[in-house]
Structure 1
Amino acid sequence: MITIVDYGTSNLGSMQNMLKKIGAASRIAASPDDLDGASKIIVPGVGSFDAGMGKLRESGMIPVLNQKALVDRIPTLGVCLGMQLMTRSSEEGVLSGLGWIEAEAVRFNQNGDPGLKVPHMGWNEVVPAKASALTANFPADARFYFAHSYHVKCKVTEDVLLEVSYGAGTFTAAFERGNLFGAQFHPEKSHRFGMAFLRNFVERC
């Protein structure tokens, strides 16, 4: 069963509705026991890093998530803030992240690009950095909806899955390491492109 982690930081209905559109049943997990039987896990999230990490700790689900993601190697997808929580830390806060990925979340740098709009909001085309089942059969113009002020900077180049050009530079739109995946964009708000992304996660990963 595809299990969506509820730690009080996002509208879970949108994700469930998008999964329903592709014919995938899902359930919400708000406690450690709710994670039993999960075949795929999605960790969504919006808002600040420390608030999200704090609520995730309060939920009591972190030990079980660590077991599922790192030991049982269940395919796990972090979305937006959920992606950032999978890293070691964030410039936005002082709490440690889950530490599943050797990366950190950093703020967009406006010093070298004063015209750069932060937060970054809107649609952007993505460019694959490597081949993956998660992005199989993507159209050349694949684009997704973003809404964020911080982005993930991977320490291991091979972890980068998708990149986006923004302003004078690029940033990581998605990462992949084994059974761990992260998407900075919102697939549940990205129409047919988001449906294709989630379908690959459900059927191929």
Structure 2
Amino acid sequence: MAGKEAAHRRREVVLTFASLVSAAAAGLWAYHFQAERAAQKAEEGAHCETDLEARTPPRPYDPARDGPNPLAPRSIPDEARCPICGMYPARYPRWAAQRIDSGGRVDFYDAPRDLVIHDQWLRQEKGVAEDRRVAAAIWVRDYCSETPSWVAADAAWFVWSPKIIGPMGRPEPAACATEQAARTLAEAKGGEVLRFADLYTRFRW
């Protein structure tokens, strides 16, 4: 009789211990899930927040500083920051890009990918002025030249290859002024040649 009672108690202890372990595991899973979801929401919030404009405001047009044509490419100030990643485009002259809105304001980017992403955000965001949502001119730097000049984005040719690494340490589309230069680079890097419109299907906001 005593043996049966002892066995019964041992069984109760085992079941209680198993229940505690199960509850602890469930609690840990729930904590992990909530923490992961909170991190995801924070990341989404950082990506989609409407204060992109406040964090990195566009630079207004100044004829005395920027010249008589408000749609011409402008010099990148050393302190200018990319509105998407926060990097300093002036430090990456072969990759830099800029978007001028119909109000004459300009945003500078460290690479064409961020320009495309920001342009999509501006088009969709209802909290910014209407003329901010319209791109009047978009310029990219000629990556294929040793002395990169500005090229209108619609006229440029882009090369996408996992071997072409941009300022963010990841593959980026490299702009070239001519189709021949782009095809030469694509052949050398095992990449594909794209037009500017193609970047909008490749990189989504």
Quickly name the TM-score band, shorter chain normalised.
under 0.3
More helix by share: 2
More strand by share: 1
Greater RCO between the two (CA within 8 Å, min separation 6)?
Answer: 1
| TM-score in terms of structure 1 length | 0.27
Q: Tell which structure's C-alpha radius of gyration is larger.
A: 2
